[in-house]
């Protein structure tokens, strides 16, 4: 068990949705506010080797959350950028952290790394069984390469890096920008704006058949900090809820919670994404005692309430 009291901790992406929650959990776990470094992209572009060298200097722990990420729309529009930015950021950070003798590197990967057709629930050992779903493969493959790098650096240099795989995140403070948001915030915003305009219907991409699993931001952050403190193995670890819901049922639940009376118009000519997503969460439970606590309905209510207060 790692004692965080005197550890100097770098949190890349620490000002983002998940990052802020991770910082909050680090403080609750005993870390000192003065010892947490949150580099801002305006000052440190982590695609630059010099920026990576600067931020890892004198750090004990690196938690790498920074990512160039979005929903299906962004994945289709900018696959090259998503591949390059995520690969170069991660691979340079791992290398410079190793060179700077950082004690522990915590890499937060992506569920997009799993093959398009993975037996449900996804077990960590299935991650290499095939190619990811095409729309998010460039992002998924870039992040998966960092798992290989951490395992190789552990094998050759004894570098302590761990790799955590949180399922789709949501919660108060999420990114609601329609150009880059994920499915839950995108749907909440879509319904909210339809209500403001008095629209009789809302269009939704795909046919509603794919299934997804979602983890509340606070739960994911708690899992990441628990892994930081107590996990030191080379094998990747899923962080999820093991609860699967179809996009159709998710949309209907959001519409019900927001009391939208209009019609849902499915757009089957738009991409569905991966057919099914649901994680096996046994390894996280066995390895460091993590289980998610927030149920989806309550988590959605909290997120909708937050958005209504902050929509302006």
Report, as residue numbers or ranges, the catalytic residues. Answer: 139
CB 93 within 8 A of CB 202: no
> Nearest Cα to 37, choosing from 12, 64, 3, 66?
12
Coil, helix or strand at residue 88: helix
Residue 80, judged by CB atoms within 10 A of its CB (0-12, 13-18, 19+), counts as exposed
* Residue 248, C-beta contacts closer than 8 angstroms, at least 6 positions apart: 208, 209
- Work out the angle at residue 132's Cα, subtended by the Cα atoms of residues 130 and 136, and round it to the nearest 5 degrees: 170
284 assigned ligand-binding residue: no
Instruction: Find out whether 297 is annotated in a ligand binding site.
Output: no
Pairing of strands 168-170, 245-246: unpaired
d(C-alpha 312, C-alpha 2), whole Å? 42
Q: Do 245 and 209 contact (CB within 8 A), yes or no? A: no
Q: Is 275 annotated as a binding residue?
A: no
Residue 16 counted as an annotated binding residue: yes
Q: Would the annotation count 33 as a binding residue?
A: no
Q: Contact, 133 vs 206, CB < 8 A? A: no
14 in a labelled binding site: yes
DSSP-derived letter for residue 115 is B
Residue 17 is assigned to a ligand binding site: yes
Kindly give, in sequence order, each residue whose CB lies less than 8 Å from that of residue 41, ignoring residues fewer than 6 positions away: 66
> Residue 18 annotated as binding?
yes
198 annotated as a binding-site residue: no
Q: Establish whether 167 is an annotated binding residue.
A: yes
CB atoms within 10 A of CB 310: 10
69 assigned binding-site residue: no
Is 178 annotated as a binding-site member? no
Rounded distance between C-alpha atoms, residue 233 and residue 217, angstroms: 24
Tokens representing 4?
A: 């965080």
Q: Annotated binding residues for substrate, as ranges?
A: 190, 205, 212
Q: Annotated binding residues, as ranges?
A: 13-19, 143, 166-169, 182, 190, 205, 212
Q: Annotated binding residues for NADP(+), as ranges?
A: 13-19, 143, 166-169, 182
């Amino acid at each position: 068990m790692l004692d965080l009291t005197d550890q100097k901790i770098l949190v890349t992406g620490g000002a983002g949705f998940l990052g802020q929650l991770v910082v909050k959990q680090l403080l609750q776990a005993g870390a000192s506010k003065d010892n947490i470094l949150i580099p801002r992209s305006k000052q440190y572009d982590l695609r630059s080797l010099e920026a990576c060298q600067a931020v890892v200097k004198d750090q004990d722990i690196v938690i790498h959350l920074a990512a160039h990420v979005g929903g299906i729309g962004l994945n289709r529009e900018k696959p090259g950028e998503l591949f390059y930015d995520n690969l170069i950021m991660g691979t340079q950070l791992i290398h410079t952290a190793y060179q700077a003798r950082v004690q522990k590197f915590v890499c937060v990967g992506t569920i997009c790394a799993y093959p398009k057709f993975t037996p449900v629930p996804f077990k960590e050992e299935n991650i290499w069984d095939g190619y990811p779903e095409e729309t998010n493969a460039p992002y998924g493959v870039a992040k998966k390469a960092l798992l290989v790098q951490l395992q190789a650096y552990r094998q050759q240099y004894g570098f302590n890096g761990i790799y955590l795989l949180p399922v789709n995140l949501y919660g108060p403070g999420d990114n609601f920008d329609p150009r880059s948001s994920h499915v839950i915030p995108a749907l909440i915003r879509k319904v909210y704006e339809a209500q403001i305009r008095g629209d009789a219907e809302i269009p939704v991409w795909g046919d509603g058949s794919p299934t997804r699993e979602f983890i509340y931001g606070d739960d994911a952050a708690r899992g990441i900090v628990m892994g930081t403190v107590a996990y030191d193995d080379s094998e990747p670890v899923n962080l999820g809820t093991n609860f699967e819901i179809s996009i159709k049922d998710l949309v209907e639940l959001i519409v019900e919670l927001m009391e939208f009376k209009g019609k849902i118009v499915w757009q089957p000519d738009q991409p569905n994404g991966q057919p099914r997503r649901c994680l096996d969460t046994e390894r996280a439970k066995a390895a460091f005692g993590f289980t998610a606590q927030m149920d989806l309905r309550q988590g959605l209510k909290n997120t909708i309430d937050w958005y209504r207060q902050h929509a302006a």
